[in-house]
Amino acid sequence: MAVRIFHADHVLPGDAPPIADGAVVVDAEGAIVEVGAAAEVLPRHAGPAPERVRGVVFPGLVNAHTHVELSSMRGKVPGGHGFVPWVDRLVTTRSECSPDEDAEEIERAVDALAMSATVAVGDVTNSLAAVAALARRGIGGSVFHEVLGMDRAVVLRRVDGLRAELAERVPTWPGADLAYAPAPHTLFTLHHDAARALLESAERRGVRTSLHLAEHAAERRAVEHGEGPVPEWFATRFKQRPEWPKRPLFDLAAEVGALRPHVILVHLADARADELARVAAAGAPVVLCPRSNLYIEGRLPPLLAVRAAGIEPALGTDSLASNTSLDVLAEARALADRFPSVPKWELVKMATWNGARALGREDLGRLARGARPGVFCVEGAAPGDPAALLLASRAPRRVLVARVPRTGASADPAGSAWDDPPPAGARAPGAPPARAPSAKEESS
Ligand SMILES: [Zn+2]
């Protein structure tokens, strides 16, 4: 099939302001050939007749932070009382849920992602249970295999065993369109030596990883002073009294290697201006999850301070345990309502191009020559700002050109990149060495 040409009332390229009376040319492999004003683009393409779109054309969305595996928690975990009551309830509710119910809700959530025009996710997972569903719907991005636990020896053994866990749960990785990276949960739920080992492992393998950082005030109190609701929760819920670092949160983040360009920092709702400046200087990608922060803590991420620091944040929904949908445009809409000074097309950029960049996927998130972002549209009149029409839209959103998932090498995350020895000091005294690959792993 030859190229397809779309002539639209408005084109929102994702990485740039809207183009009124725009055109987009897409080749048979889903790659963008050209985008611009219709008056310039259309005369250059004599081929097929342009397909007229009365509305806004935009690239596939990127939900840069979610936990699809928690989809069965939809509506079951009340918020509004802070992180610790929320996570305590989550732990209880999760333990009552059957794997069948989980699997069903994962499928439903992934369908909803696809219908919302989402083409890539940054998906945090303990179980790897959503990997197959994401691949089946052609949703790409990154899978962050998450580790948590404050018992140093126990958690370092889990770090050593991640490769075996991966090989057992996902014997054949679906392909290069979904990257795999080990990931620390937070600096108050994971021993910092394990966090450092995971971040170094991701860096060695040349992949992006993810860390929840500065989500709420209780996190800072625990890390910096060893007091407050988090240490109390560890004592009552797990009968544990971890050694708290008692150091400034962002000093600890820097020390474990989290302020680096390959580490996606999620939330920063409790970050101060000087801390945001450190994040910006480090070049670490940032993901904000406004509806989740509102749900759990009743607070918004500091969008204006983030922008003032020179950070271009991506957006994520977090999970259905703290949100009502996995539609990343609803995050942009929530910010539009509360930060009217921020141009709406920039909020769309956060849900598209900034998310693609955060995940290290420059082939996604923008209608730009050579990219393969998937092409979508929302129909309707946009007398004023076309970004407002997009932000007001609800799923399902219409597919014009389905995204063609990336293929190619480096698809097997259980492969040879794991053979590097763990960094010195990362292994607990007495812990067994990383398991040698089994025949099955070697053949996959
Ligand atoms: Zn999260």
CATH at 26: 2.30.40.10
Range of the domain at 399: 1-60+366-410
Position 444 scores a pLDDT of 30
Where does residue 278 rank: exposed (0-12), middle (13-18), buried (19+ CB within 10 A)? middle
Q: Are residues 54 and 104 in the same domain?
A: no
Residue 19 lies in a domain: yes
Q: How confident is the model at residue 418 (pLDDT cuts 50, 70, 90)?
A: low
| Phi, psi torsion values for 352, nearest 5 degrees | -130, -85
67 CA from centroid of ligand 1 (Å): 6
Pairing status of strand 375-379 against strand 118-125: unpaired
58 CA from centroid of ligand 1 (Å): 26
Pairing status of strand 4-11 against strand 51-59: parallel
Q: How confident is the model at residue 430 (pLDDT cuts 50, 70, 90)?
A: very low
Q: Are residues 281 and 310 in the same domain?
A: yes
Comparing CA positions, the residue from 186, 210, 190, 387 lying closest to residue 270 is 186
Rounded to whole angstroms, the Cα distance separating 7 from 15 reads: 19
24 CA from centroid of ligand 1 (Å): 35
**Helix (H) and strand (E) counts in the chain:** 18, 14
Q: Are residues 89 and 54 in the same domain?
A: no
Q: How confident is the model at residue 413 (pLDDT cuts 50, 70, 90)?
A: confident
Residue 415 lies in a domain: no
Count Cβ atoms below 10 Å from residue 137 Cβ, excluding itself.
15
Q: Are residues 296 and 383 in the same domain?
A: no
Residue 325 CA, distance from chain mean position? 14
Residue 20 lies in a domain: yes
Q: Are residues 311 and 392 in the same domain?
A: no
User: Taking CA 54 as the corner, what is the angle to CA 52 and CA 58, rounded to the nearest 5 degrees?
Assistant: 90
What does the pLDDT look like over 216-249, one tens digit per residue?
999 999 999 999 999 999 999 999 999 999 999 9
Q: Are residues 49 and 146 in the same domain?
A: no
211 CA from centroid of ligand 1 (Å): 9
Q: Are residues 277 and 226 in the same domain?
A: yes
Position 382 scores a pLDDT of 79
Q: Are residues 255 and 400 in the same domain?
A: no
Strands (E), 344-428: 375-379, 398-401
Position 1 scores a pLDDT of 57
Residue 431 lies in a domain: no
156 CA from centroid of ligand 1 (Å): 22
Q: Are residues 16 and 159 in the same domain?
A: no
What SS3 state is found at 305? Answer: helix
DSSP 386-402: HHHHHHH--S--EEEE-
319 CA from centroid of ligand 1 (Å): 7
Rounded to whole angstroms, the Cα distance separating 408 from 410 reads: 7
Q: How confident is the model at residue 386 (pLDDT cuts 50, 70, 90)?
A: very high
Comparing CA positions, the residue from 195, 198, 160 lying closest to residue 182 is 198
What does the pLDDT look like over 280-317, one tens digit per residue?
999 999 999 999 999 999 999 999 999 999 999 999 99
Question: Which residues are placed with Cβ below 5 angstroms of ligand 1, an ion?
Answer: 318
Position 384 scores a pLDDT of 85
Q: How confident is the model at residue 431 (pLDDT cuts 50, 70, 90)?
A: very low
What does the pLDDT look like over 340-362, one tens digit per residue?
999 999 999 999 999 999 999 99
Element (H, E) at 432: none
168 CA from centroid of ligand 1 (Å): 24
Q: How confident is the model at residue 22 (pLDDT cuts 50, 70, 90)?
A: very high
288 CA from centroid of ligand 1 (Å): 10
Q: Chain-wide mean pLDDT for the chain?
A: 92
Residue burial 237-267, b: 16+ Cβ < 10 Å; e: rest: eeeeebebbeeebbebbebbbbbbebbbbbb
What total number of domains does the chain contain?
2
Q: Are residues 114 and 139 in the same domain?
A: yes
Please state the three-class secondary structure of 32-88 as a single string. Answer: EEEEEEHHHHHHHCCCCCCEEEEEEEEECEEEEEECHHHHHHCCCCCCCCCHHHHHH
Asked if 69 and 129 touch (Cβ cutoff 8 Å), the reply is yes
Position 97 scores a pLDDT of 93
316 CA from centroid of ligand 1 (Å): 9
Instruction: Give Cα separations from 50 to 38, 54, 375, 404, 411 (angstroms).
Output: 10, 12, 15, 21, 37
What does the pLDDT look like over 84-102, one tens digit per residue?
999 999 999 999 999 999 9
Q: Are residues 56 and 154 in the same domain?
A: no
318 CA from centroid of ligand 1 (Å): 5
Does 434 have pLDDT greater than 60?
no
CATH number of the domain that residue 271 is part of: 3.20.20.140
Residue 441 lies in a domain: no
Does 429 have pLDDT greater than 90?
no
Position 409 scores a pLDDT of 56
Position 383 scores a pLDDT of 76
Q: Are residues 231 and 380 in the same domain?
A: no
Count Cβ atoms below 10 Å from residue 272 Cβ, excluding itself.
15
362 CA from centroid of ligand 1 (Å): 23
